[in-house]
Amino acid sequence: MYHQQLDGFPKDFLWGAASAAYQVEGAWNEDGKGPSIWDHFAKIPGKTFEGTNGDVAVDHYHRYKEDVALMKEMGMKAYRFSVAWSRVLPDGEGEVNEAGLAFYEALVDELLANGVEPVLTLFHWDLPQALQDRYGGWESRKTADAFETYCRVLYERLGKKVKYWVTMNEQNVFIPLGYRWAAHPPAVTDLKRMYAANHIVNLANAKAIKLFHQLVPEGMIGPSFGYGPIYPLTADPNDVLAAENAEAFNNEWWLSVYCTGKYPRFLVKQLTELGLAPEILPEDRSLLEDAAARPDFLGVNYYHGGTVKTNRIAAPSDEEKEFSETDPYLMQPKDDQAQSPEVPMFNGVANPYLEKTAWGWEIDPVGFRVALRRLQSRYDLPLFITENGLGAVDELTEDGKIHDAYRVEYLRAHLLELQKAVTDGVEILGYCAWSYTDLLSWLNGYKKRYGFVYVDRNEQEEGQLTRIKKDSFYWYQQVIATNGVSLVENV
Ligand code: BG6
């Protein structure tokens, strides 16, 4: 589509920013909170960057009022945060920890009192350790039942105050990283188990949405998916087919279940042939296909897409190898992986047209528009951008400021493409940049920063945790105040 003039952002557009409990809260064992799998995993030597863990993180648990005051100053319309399941149910199920629940209610009240719409994520990776120990975590259907119990507690307590809810954050990331690449807990490398655990999470997601529709009829709920569009490297039809295969493996496998209640047929056949398909019981199908289990919107976390070429039967070149080993989040099939069913079908390669961040993530604002267009036309749901941002090394300069012009440039380019997507006709509820304050990266410590608000903290746990507004803070403040009009000024 081409437009002489862009439409404005919708009147009630939710300009926001996001975080996740483990990455900001700290207070890991305070006020009755139980341990999560991340509290354990991060303390195993060698698992995280310089041994960082979330025991203190950026201390949001104690400083949430200060953080919300800054949100108000920025004019933020929405704040996406997650609830730590084991703060509310220390044992994963059973007894409710009133102090934990009260913390989230106080946070929600503080947000509402300051004109910020809460967007509550139910699961952002910090599974209660008790469920991992008792049931084997997401490998058991009992964990899906426990998730439903936990959701019920939150719906009953906060359903009248919180309108927007996210079920699972990036199931397509935490499942492969946890059960295939062993970069996240429970650090398994087994594809069969990965597909089985993934199915259980699909059931948990469906149960949570179904229950929500009963208990919070006025609200809206959906999963947040880490979507990246796949491009073929060339117009060679073999590359195009490779891209189709990669879309199926990397995206459709989840999106189709979420949005249609059905697993995609080509991939089911393929995985069945390979002996990797999950066991799907008749009652699972009824649950997944139940219209009440369909999301009201699709959350989209956009960082980058991927480019593929046709099958790689021979060993990869050094350049390809280097590319695939840059970052575990790129999740390219690796040769040393015991089973890599994708290898004969597609091979991830660098896109020759795109620059990369310091962490090797391709920077592709146009891909953002492509992503939104594809999702809207395939699934026809309203979209909510629940994450998008630039991870960079930020420097606190002598003037006591952070001049992050690179972040402004990144965000502006993405927001302009978002505006084009809106003008194309994509329905978008809001945009939550990743992240609000700087926070603990799961695997990159505090070196890789995303926030509008700098937090004085490093891997050695030094720093006073002081909050400092970056240049991007003031820039986003203007974007929000003008409902996006300032994006096109001074371009
Ligand atoms: C997303 C996650 O995958 O990426 C966030 O939802 C995460 O929790 C973000 O922090 C950025 O990842 P990283 O590794 O750059 O911190």
CA of 441 to the centre of ligand 1 (A): 6
The pLDDT value recorded for residue 174 is 98
Comparison of pLDDT for 330 and 340, the residue scoring more: 340
pLDDT at 387 over 60: yes
Give residue 342's pLDDT: 77
The confidence band for 490, taking pLDDT boundaries of 50, 70 and 90, is low
Pairing state of beta strands 347-349 and 306-309? Answer: antiparallel
Contact status, residue 37 vs residue 137, Cβ threshold 8 Å:
yes
pLDDT at 336 over 50: no
Say whether 270 sits in a helix, a strand or coil: helix
Q: What is the pLDDT of residue 328?
A: 47
Q: 457-464, long-range: CB within 8 Å, 24+ apart, which pairs?
A: 457/58, 459/49, 459/50, 459/51, 459/52, 460/50, 461/56
The DSSP code for 441 is B
Mean pLDDT value across residues 295-321? 80
Cβ-based neighbour number of residue 62 at 10 Å? 13
List, for residues 149-183, the tens digit of each pLDDT value.
999 999 999 999 999 999 999 999 999 999 999 99
Dist CA 188 CA 337 (whole Å): 12
User: Nearest CA to 202 among 262, 155, 245, 251?
Assistant: 262
Mean pLDDT over 235-241 rounds to 94
Quick one: pLDDT at residue 346? Answer: 86
pLDDT for residue 360 is more than 70: yes
What pLDDT sits at residue 47? Answer: 94
SS3 304: coil
Mutate to test the pocket of ligand 1, among 36, 58, 167, 434 (most ligand atoms within 8 A of CB): 434
Q: Please name the amino acid found at residue 320.
A: E
Q: Does the CB atom of residue 442 touch ligand 1 within 6 A?
A: yes
In testing the pocket of ligand 1, which one of 48, 304, 326, 329 has its CB within 8 Å of the most ligand atoms? 329
Q: Please report the pLDDT score of residue 338 as a whole number.
A: 44
Does residue 177's CB lie within 6 angstroms of at least one atom of ligand 1?
A: no
User: 339 pLDDT band (50/70/90 cuts)?
Assistant: low
Residue 56: other Cβ atoms inside 10 A: 16
Looking at residue 313, its pLDDT comes to 52
Neighbours of 462 (CB within 10 A): 8
From atom 16 of ligand 1, which residue's Cα is the shortest distance away?
A: 441
In order of start, what are the domains of the chain with their CATH numbers? 14-231+291-310+353-489 (3.20.20.80)
CA dihedral over 131, 134, 138, 142, signed as positive or negative: negative
What 3-state DSSP class applies to 153?
helix
Place of tokens 């002598």: 398
Count CA atoms within 13 Å of residue 243 on its CB side. 19
Q: Is 448 in the pocket of ligand 1 (CB under 6 A)?
A: yes
Considering only the C-alpha atoms of the chain, give the largest distance between any 2 of them, rounded to a whole number of Å: 64
* pLDDT for the residue numbered 115: 98
Q: Which residues contact 479 (CB under 8 A, 6 or more apart)?
A: 15, 415, 486, 487
Torsion sign (Cα): 144, 150, 154, 155: positive
Q: Which of 336, 491, 334, 298 is nearest to 413 (CA)?
A: 491
Amino acid identity for residue 333 in this structure: P
Residue range 297-311: average pLDDT? Answer: 93
Q: Is the CB of 438 under 6 A from ligand 1?
A: no
Mean predicted lDDT score pLDDT of the chain: 94
Tens-digit pLDDT profile for residues 99-150? 999 999 999 999 999 999 999 999 999 999 999 999 999 999 999 999 999 9
**In the predicted model, is pLDDT for residue 446 greater than 60?**
yes
Give the Cα-Cα-Cα angle 365, 169, 195 (nearest 5 degrees): 105
Look at residue 312 in the predicted model and tell me its pLDDT: 57
**pLDDT, mean of residues 345-362:** 92
The pLDDT of residue 343: 73
**Residues contacting 311, CB < 8 A, separation 6+:** 238, 242, 343, 344, 345, 346, 347
Q: Mark residue 467 as left, alpha or beta (left: phi above 0; alpha: psi -120 to 50; beta: remaining).
A: beta
Tell me the whole-structure pTM to 2 decimals. Answer: 0.95
Ligand 1 pocket, residue 226 CB under 6 Å: yes
Report the C-alpha gap between 236 and 350 in whole angstroms.
17
d(CA 10, CA 228): 24
Instruction: Flag whether pLDDT at 76 surpasses 80.
Output: yes
Written as six digits, the tokens of 94 are 């059973």
Would the CB of 387 count as within 6 Å of ligand 1? Answer: yes
Q: ∠ CA 488-438-64 to the nearest 5 degrees?
A: 105
- Taking phi over 0 as left and psi of -120 to 50 as alpha, with beta for the rest, 279 belongs to beta
> Average of pLDDT values for 315-331?
54
Cα Rg, the chain, nearest whole Å: 21
Give residue-wise pLDDT tens across range 275-284. 999 999 999 9
Q: What is the pLDDT of residue 373?
A: 98
Distance in Å, CA 359 to ligand 1 centroid: 12
Q: Which helix (H) or strand (E) holds 347?
A: strand 347-349
- Structure confidence by residue, pLDDT tens digits, 460-470: 989 999 999 99
Residues carrying an active site annotation = 170, 387
Cα–Cα distance between 360 and 350 in angstroms, integer?
Answer: 10
Q: What percent of the chain has pLDDT over 90?
A: 90
